[in-house]
Amino acid sequence: MKALVICRDNIGDLILTTPLITALAEELHYQVDVLANSYNAAALDGNPHVSKVYIYSKLHHREKHESVIKLIIQRLKVIWSVRQERYDVVLIGKGQWDKRILQWVRLAKAKNVIALGETTHSCITALVTPPKDVTEHLVKRFYRMLTPLGSTSQPGPLRLYADPLLVREMRTAYDIDRQQPVFALQISSRKILQRWSSSNFVLLAHRLAAAYSCKIVLLWSPGSADNPRHPGDDVSALLIASLCQDLPITPIPTHTLGELMAAVSLCNLVITSDGGAMHIAAGLGKPIVALFGNSDPVVWAPWQVEHEIISAENHDVGTVKVDTVVEAVHRLKLRADAQATALPINIDLPADMLTNPISPQPNRPLQDQIIEVALGQTAER
pLDDT, tens digit, for every residue of 71-102?
777 878 887 888 888 999 999 999 999 888 88
Q: Using one digit for the tens of pLDDT, what is the confidence trace for 302-334?
A: 999 999 999 998 999 999 999 999 999 999 999
User: Do 17 and 93 touch, CB atoms closer than 8 A?
Assistant: yes
63 in the same domain as 113: yes
| Number of Cβ within a 10 Å radius of residue 161 | 16
User: Do 322 and 204 touch, CB atoms closer than 8 A?
Assistant: yes
What does the pLDDT read at residue 366?
59
What does the pLDDT read at residue 61?
55
| Number of Cβ within a 10 Å radius of residue 268 | 18
Domain membership of residue 154 (yes or no) is: no
Domain membership of residue 191 (yes or no) is: yes
Domain total of the chain:
2
Choose the final residue of a domain: 149, 177, 193. Answer: 149
What does the pLDDT read at residue 372?
63
Domain membership of residue 182 (yes or no) is: yes
| 3-class SS of residue 105 | helix
User: Do 167 and 266 touch, CB atoms closer than 8 A?
Assistant: yes
Closest Cα to residue 161, out of 72, 61, 69, 262? 262
How far is residue 225's CA from residue 230's CA, in Å, rounded to a whole number? 8
What does the pLDDT read at residue 103?
85
362 in the same domain as 222: yes
195 in the same domain as 75: no
How far is residue 266's CA from residue 254's CA, in Å, rounded to a whole number? 13
User: Do 228 and 195 touch, CB atoms closer than 8 A?
Assistant: no
How far is residue 220's CA from residue 229's CA, in Å, rounded to a whole number? 16
What does the pLDDT read at residue 75?
76
140 in the same domain as 55: yes
User: Do 317 and 197 touch, CB atoms closer than 8 A?
Assistant: no
Choose the final residue of a domain: 149, 182, 214. Answer: 149
| Number of Cβ within a 10 Å radius of residue 178 | 8
pTM score above 0.85: yes
Domain membership of residue 155 (yes or no) is: no
What does the pLDDT read at residue 60?
54
92 in the same domain as 186: no
How far is residue 83's CA from residue 311's CA, in Å, rounded to a whole number? 45
Extract the residue ranges of the chain whose pLDDT is less than 70.
Answer: 58-66, 228-230, 338-381
What does the pLDDT read at residue 341?
45
Q: 315: domain range?
A: 164-374
User: Do 192 and 295 touch, CB atoms closer than 8 A?
Assistant: no
Output the CA torsion sign for 33, 34, 38, 39: negative
209 in the same domain as 273: yes
What does the pLDDT read at residue 379?
44
184 in the same domain as 98: no
* DSSP per-residue string spanning 259-301: HHHHHHHT-SEEEEESSHHHHHHHHTT--EEEEESSS-HHHHS
